[in-house]
Structure 1
Amino acid sequence: MTSRPASGPGAGSEQPDEANAVDGQAGAEEAAAAPRWSRPVALVVAAAFFMENLDATILSTATASVARDFGVQPAQLGIAVTGYLVAVAAFIPLGAWLAERWGARRVFLAAVVLFTLASLACALSPDLVALTTARVVQGAAGAMMVPIGRLIVLRSTEKSELIKAIAYLTWPALAAPVVAPLIGGLLTEHLGWEWVFLVNVPIGALLLVAAWRVVPSPEVGDRHPLDWPGLLLVVGAIVALVVAFELLGDKATVLFGVLLAVVALALGLAAGRWFRRARHPLLDLEPFRVATFRVTNLSGSLYRAVVNGVPFVVPLLLQDGLGWSPVEAGLMLMWVFVGNLGVKPFTTPLMHRFRIVPIIVVATVGLAATFVAAALVGPGTSPVLVAAILLVSGVFRSVGFTAYNTLQFADVPAAQIAPANAIASITGQLAVGLGVALTALTVRVADTVATAEGVGGAATGYQVALVVLAALALLSLPEGLRLPRGAGDSLRRRA
């Protein structure tokens, strides 16, 4: 017996109403599941970024005071600086696995607590061994705090809001190295070197309270076992490379530095081969198939290295080369920060209005031009002109840095955000070490050559280093120019 279709006005309208109800429910569920931009979360993570980035560089200004109290040579404190950088670089891959296994929010909060306690331990250290140990713990906490914080923001932000989110996360990396010499100098001179670390205690406590209130609780990922062979290979490669950077800057250890760099390369190649065949690799290299991610983490790392070399070389040029006082040099470097901060309100509209690749090109060329201008500064140059050069340099620095950091995640699928974030964190951290080490090496080589030839003066090495940094900045462009015309356009679409 065949059933007849229902008839009549009530029966005829019943099925469409049910369909509309189902569609409406599905749409509501989809909207609820979509990632939402959260300014409070971005601000909390940015504060964590600033605390970690500041701590990475602030110790250099207190070196003389710490060495005097510990009864050691200032050069011996290099182990505390190197230990921190090694720990940060080495623990980033482990942090990504912990976030997937235990949840990003839980690991982020634990990292803030550990970083704060390690800062207190640094301030209370009675000798160099204790300080170095505390700095390693501090670096390990920073390695988990910063990448996982960015992962939380990326997972809770849709593509159309990514430019805005990355703008919040970029300013700490730009500002911290610039203001660290001045803040560190003031704290050391007026309160004692211990306050270089004690300042993190109240900041960390406030950050923990804020993070507890606003950071979401994303779902825990797959609890797959830890890839121990991959971890050992990548940590060995990173540690060897970071230490090699430090050794290459000293004439007495340059040969050992080269050997360590070769070891790092061999371990890195072995790690890459292992990750391609492992069932649950510590680092998933799949994001490198995305053109924008690949370019921003290869040639883009060269740009980041250049950017991080400037806060190191400019104060030395002004102090050792031109005879300025440390306070004068620190205050002058603040104009770079003014440029960074001043252009920040315009970076988001700029990248919504124009394509990102041309923005990177203009910012890079402009940045290189300011490096050359800074290299031409002499004893008779007006401080107003020096300030103007550094301010413009800060503007280009901020725009280019933000554009690179935004573009790297533009086309990465949501499922690959976690491994992409881990890779980006590693390349970014290595770029910091590379920038400072390469700049220091250039200064030493230039000074040696100038002395042998009987030419130049006290500022020669620093001037040559700035020109080399300008050339390296331009070398970061060719690969990016090969990107498709529409690269990063998904960021410009409004939700």
Structure 2
Amino acid sequence: MAVSGLDAAEGVAGAAGDPAPSPPPNARLTAIIVASALIMQNLDSSVIATALPAMARDLGADPLHLSAAITSYLVALTVFIPLSGWVADRFGAKRVFMVAMAVFAFTSALCGLSRGLGELVGARVLQGLGGAMMVPVARLLLLRQVRPEEVVRATTWLTMPALLGPILGPPLGGLLTDTVSWRAVFWINLPVAAVGLLAIWRFIPAERQARPPRLDLVGVTLIGASLACLMFGAETIGRGMVPAPLALAGFAAGIGLGWAAVRWARRAPNPALDLSMFAVPSFRIAVAAGSLFRIGAGASPFLLPLFMQLGFGASATTSGMITLATALGAFAMKPMTSFALKRFGFRNVLVWNSVMVAASFAVCAMFTPDWPLWAVFLVLAWGGLARSLQFTSSNSLSYVDVPPGKLSSATAITATAQQLFMALGVTWGAGWLAASAAIGGRDGPGVADFSAAFLGAALPVLLAAPLAARLARDAGVRASGHPG
């Protein structure tokens, strides 16, 4: 399953006996319509993971190197997302959203026509440009219509339809791969985009367009170059794809450019990276803890389909049906999230749920081909429940205390962090697999290597708990209703 950093917030019930305020009807309609963007992105993420082994065979590439087909998209998202808020303010959120959705659909078709790994990676980069403008702007269209106390309930209308992507993705991707071709997994975005574009044009009104401050071109360039270099180093180091000194140089350049970006942001009049957002404690801690958590969460969708097919010898269809359990668990958690946050509060949920997710990864490390598939299904469903609760809580907390005038900046920062660390998660999981196989003297990953990779995924998830523990006991009280 692909759990996206864009797994938006679930609703929170009001006081006992009193229903929480519902968002205005136009906000509900907007949420349901723009969910088509999340459906496409989540569908795309989950189907490609299931199709990776078949893609590797057809393109003549190493399955581990096919992680570049995932990370290239995530890197492009990360690089271009900082522009999304400014572009939406400058040209109008509705207009930008529609153009971005059209670009995403067109480049999906290009991915399906690729004849080699290089072409596929190039098409995925262009697809990431569309996604960078599509999903953050979709969220922005919704957030601008609701009050802070309505954020969590309003976004329920966004996430419930969006979960169709990860629910349908694994079995659909496996079925299409086995019966048609891996190329077909990209073409299913086209009808979703067509329906979404028609609904947006018909039902969502254009916003009043304001002239934003001048674009911080220097800041955007420094941030984008830093993130691209960091991801190049993370994707290639120790993998034999490029010489080791070149991979290390990518890391060094990324760190240097990142330092320069922060220095620039401190003195620029309207910086692309608004560091003042980190003065809000709930925002700062939610982003930091959520970023660590996403490293492990980003590794899981990459590891599971490969493990089922390379470790268990399952077909793509069987693999998709089994990994569907994670999405079903996430879907089942949505109605329970309200109760959990009201009963325990953001702080307790984020701390103890991190421990629970780390434990679920540790159990995944015990998988062997002797495990009955029903037991694997139950473990993955449990992990889906816990991860959904974590994403929902973290994403909600990020926006609860943000001033309305800062929503564009907050959306850009959180979306950038989400995609960056989800991308790092893929390279983190692939790195553990490659390192374990190399230590064991194996040409390809075996069951023991996947066990090592799942334990590696559990580590950053566990480290997120002490960060979340720094939250105040009443953090996010306006959204959760928990007094602390």
Residues 160 and 491 of structure 1 are in contact (CA less than 8 Å); yes or no, is this contact kept in structure 2? yes
> 2:377 corresponds to which residue?
387
Q: Which has the larger radius of gyration?
A: 1
The residue identity in structure 2 corresponding to 1:473 is V
Q: Deviations over 1:4-58 (max 9, x none)?
A: xxxxxxxxxxxxxxxxxxxxxxxxxxxxxx9877222112222201212332453
1:482 to 461, 470, 475: 470
Aligned-partner Cα distance in 2 for 1:439–1:191: 29
Instruction: Identify if the C-alpha distance between structure 1 residues 307 and 80 changes in structure 2 by more than 3 Å, giving closer, same or farther.
Output: closer
1:191 to 175, 180, 185: 180
Pairing 1:359–2:349 present: yes
The residue identity in structure 1 corresponding to 2:362 is V
Aligned-partner Cα distance in 2 for 1:129–1:451: 28
Tell me whether 467-476 or 286-295 shows the greater mean CA deviation: 467-476
Aligned-partner Cα distance in 1 for 2:288–2:138: 23
2:359 to 359, 366, 369: 369
> 1:256 corresponds to which residue?
246
The residue identity in structure 2 corresponding to 1:273 is R
Instruction: Identify if the C-alpha distance between structure 1 residues 141 and 395 changes in structure 2 by more than 3 Å, giving closer, same or farther.
Output: same
Residues 407 and 488 of structure 1 are in contact (CA less than 8 Å); yes or no, is this contact kept in structure 2? yes
Higher helix proportion: 1
1:465 to 442, 446, 453: 453
Q: Deviations over 1:112-155 (max 9, x none)?
A: 12222333344455676665544333221111001111111111
The residue identity in structure 2 corresponding to 1:221 is A
Tell me whether 440-449 or 296-305 shows the greater mean CA deviation: 440-449
> 1:415 corresponds to which residue?
405
> 1:314 corresponds to which residue?
304
Aligned-partner Cα distance in 2 for 1:247–1:179: 32
Pairing 1:301–2:277 present: no
Aligned length in residues? 456
Q: Deviations over 1:138-173 (max 9, x none)?
A: 221111001111111111121222112344445688
Instruction: Identify if the C-alpha distance between structure 1 residues 155 and 477 changes in structure 2 by more than 3 Å, giving closer, same or farther.
Output: same
Pairing 1:109–2:137 present: no
The residue identity in structure 1 corresponding to 2:323 is L
Matches within 5 A, 1:70-85: 73=61, 81-85=70-74
Instruction: Identify if the C-alpha distance between structure 1 residues 78 and 159 changes in structure 2 by more than 3 Å, giving closer, same or farther.
Output: closer
Aligned-partner Cα distance in 1 for 2:398–2:228: 25
> 1:8 corresponds to which residue?
none
Q: Deviations over 1:65-108 (max 9, x none)?
A: 66777x76467866655543332222112222111111111211
Instruction: Identify if the C-alpha distance between structure 1 residues 179 and 371 changes in structure 2 by more than 3 Å, giving closer, same or farther.
Output: farther
Residues 178 and 316 of structure 2 are in contact (CA less than 8 Å); yes or no, is this contact kept in structure 1? no
Aligned-partner Cα distance in 1 for 2:343–2:26: 20
Aligned-partner Cα distance in 1 for 2:68–2:363: 35
Once the 2 structures are TM-superposed, how far is the Cα of residue 64 of structure 1 from its aligned partner? Answer: 6.4
Aligned-partner Cα distance in 1 for 2:207–2:200: 14
Matches within 5 A, 1:65-464: 73=61, 81-124=70-113, 131-170=120-159, 176=165, 180-248=169-237, 250-253=239-242, 254-451=244-441, 458-464=446-452
Q: TM-score, normalised by structure 2?
A: 0.85
Residues 86 and 215 of structure 2 are in contact (CA less than 8 Å); yes or no, is this contact kept in structure 1? yes
Once the 2 structures are TM-superposed, how far is the Cα of residue 299 of structure 1 from its aligned partner? Answer: 2.1
Aligned-partner Cα distance in 2 for 1:332–1:414: 42
Instruction: Identify if the C-alpha distance between structure 1 residues 483 and 252 changes in structure 2 by more than 3 Å, giving closer, same or farther.
Output: same
Residues 95 and 144 of structure 1 are in contact (CA less than 8 Å); yes or no, is this contact kept in structure 2? yes
Identity of matched residues, %? 36
Instruction: Identify if the C-alpha distance between structure 1 residues 491 and 371 changes in structure 2 by more than 3 Å, giving closer, same or farther.
Output: same
Taking CA–CA contacts closer than 8 Å with sequence separation of 6 or more, which of the two structures ends up with the larger relative contact order?
2
- What are the ranges of 5 or more consecutive residues in structure 2 without an aligned counterpart? 1-22
Once the 2 structures are TM-superposed, how far is the Cα of residue 398 of structure 1 from its aligned partner? Answer: 0.9
Residues 37 and 165 of structure 1 are in contact (CA less than 8 Å); yes or no, is this contact kept in structure 2? no
Aligned-partner Cα distance in 2 for 1:63–1:332: 16
The residue identity in structure 1 corresponding to 2:95 is R
Once the 2 structures are TM-superposed, how far is the Cα of residue 493 of structure 1 from its aligned partner? Answer: 5.0
Q: Deviations over 1:278-332 (max 9, x none)?
A: 1222232211111111111112111122112112222333333344443333221
Aligned-partner Cα distance in 2 for 1:321–1:231: 42
Q: Deviations over 1:202-237 (max 9, x none)?
A: 110100111223334333333322222112101101
- What are the ranges of 5 or more consecutive residues in structure 1 without an aligned counterpart? 1-33
Tell me whether 171-180 or 104-113 shows the greater mean CA deviation: 171-180
Instruction: Identify if the C-alpha distance between structure 1 residues 434 and 81 changes in structure 2 by more than 3 Å, giving closer, same or farther.
Output: closer
Once the 2 structures are TM-superposed, how far is the Cα of residue 276 of structure 1 from its aligned partner? Answer: 1.5
Instruction: Identify if the C-alpha distance between structure 1 residues 458 and 438 changes in structure 2 by more than 3 Å, giving closer, same or farther.
Output: same
The residue identity in structure 2 corresponding to 1:380 is D
Q: Give the aligned CA root-mean-square deviation in angstroms.
A: 2.9
Aligned-partner Cα distance in 2 for 1:125–1:373: 37
Aligned-partner Cα distance in 1 for 2:370–2:106: 48
Pairing 1:52–2:41 present: yes
The residue identity in structure 1 corresponding to 2:220 is L
Aligned-partner Cα distance in 1 for 2:339–2:432: 38
Residues 35 and 155 of structure 1 are in contact (CA less than 8 Å); yes or no, is this contact kept in structure 2? no
